[in-house]
Amino acid sequence: MAYFDAASAAPLHPVARQALLASLDEGWADPARLYREGRRARMLLDAAREAAAEAVGCRPDELVFTSSGTRAVHTGIAGALSGRGRIGRHLIVSAVEHSSVLHAAELHESAGGTVTRIAVDRAGLVDPSAYAAALRADTALACLQSANHEVGTEQPVPEVAEACRAAGVPLLVDAAQSLGWGPVEGGWSLLTASAHKWGGPSGVGLLAVRKGVRFAPQGPVDERESGRAPGFENIPAIVAAAASLRAVRAEAAEEAPRLRELTERIRVRVPQTVPDVEVVGDPVRRLPGVVTFSCLYVDGEALLHELDREGFSVSSGSSCTSSTLTPSHVLRAMGVLSEGNVRVSLPPGTAQEDVERFLTVLPGAVAAVREKLGAPVASEVAREADELVVDSLGKRCPIPVIELAKVIGDVPVGGLVRVLSDDEAARLDIPAWCAMRNQEYVGEEPADQGTAYLIRRVS
């Protein structure tokens, strides 16, 4: 089985396993106690904090361990907003942040705060000038991920950090996807990360808060972790997280170029061997091991099952998967095709042979799914009418687009196809289909049920 979903959770690094087992015998006691066992646990905790702080690029007393990356995000955002409450209640986030950031923003908004969401381009990249323009006198905090978890696009953190610094606004960086590859450049103020993203154990997050940042921890006061992360520290997991972070950093210089070559091979070969595919994400500014593409006329869940049967574990941002009825917020913000979406995220150590086998298997897997769904083929005979109405009400991704593709040849050049759909994915996938097939997307209008999407045949 080839595991290609490291962006969700990387396999446990051998160093993490060794450190975890060793510290189970040494780090079980309360590090706040003064007796021998407590002092031993405190030494392990302090050493882990120093190692993690060195990797992050901050002082040890600026870093605390939390119970997860999500908890680090929620604690960091809430603490920074509260600490700067006298300045104002305006928060800035990008439209492609991790759901933990966006959920925190929604909570802040529901409590009376204001939120500006910065748009991205089709590569998933923010424009630093948009952040600069969004900064206001009442801005309490800005948030920007270092790299996107779905498409791998790396964000211009140094430029945004400089704009925030000039305005006196702290910048929180979610570095969960990138920290294993290197420190985050730029003058960030707060940083969060999650150990299971770099091969550490799950249940360990990092929160770094620079000295001088106004920060007021929320919730009941706790003496643990400077009052910022309540509860007894999981010292064995923390030690394993710090040890594995140091290990993957030592391997990154050699492993990153190798994984970049493998993902570039996927980016180039997939459009050559699979018709009607859109590779998404920035082609240059991206994480070493992440590549994402979407396939027209494909049910994302069916494709994932097909690849799983062939021995490949991948993930999807499609709306047509069992876990969601709407397209990924990242793909939606980028305005790219969402149906048949596949994210390949290679863990360190991935064998070239596994990637080659994936590239061999993928065309057949996509073709099999398309055949089951009745996707259009070029030999179909067309009839002509000035305008056709396609009733796709009650049908889910990718059926509305499949039915559109089947009838586009039935109208003359300049003719219209009106697709009726109540599937949220159609709002994203129909314009994307038009861009890929060189047809004109006219727009949408209300219908008695759902929405009518208008497409004009150009070629």
Kindly list the catalytic residues: 320
Q: Using CB atoms within 10 A of its CB, is residue 248 exposed (0-12), middle (13-18) or buried (19+)?
A: buried
According to DSSP, residue 194 is labeled E
Token pair for 192: 């969060």
- How far is residue 178's CA from residue 188's CA, in Å, rounded to a whole number? 14
Residue reference for tokens 């490291």: 6
Q: At what angle do helices 36-56 and 235-273 cross, to 10 degrees?
A: 30
Kindly list the distances between the CA atom of residue 137 and the CA atoms of 106, 187, 428, in Å, as whole numbers in the listed order: 21, 20, 35
**Residue 337 near residue 316 (C-beta atoms within 8 A):** no
Return the C-alpha torsion angle 208, 53, 188, 230, nearest 10. Answer: 0
**Residue 57 near residue 183 (C-beta atoms within 8 A):** yes
Residue reference for tokens 């196809």: 417
- How far is residue 116's CA from residue 269's CA, in Å, rounded to a whole number? 38
Exposure string for 25-62, b = 16+ CB within 10 A, e = fewer: eebebebeeeeeeeebbbebbeebbebbbbbbebebeb
* Cβ atoms within 10 Å, residue 437: 16
Kindly list the distances between the CA atom of residue 237 and the CA atoms of 66, 76, 142, in Å, as whole numbers in the listed order: 11, 21, 30
- How far is residue 139's CA from residue 142's CA, in Å, rounded to a whole number? 8
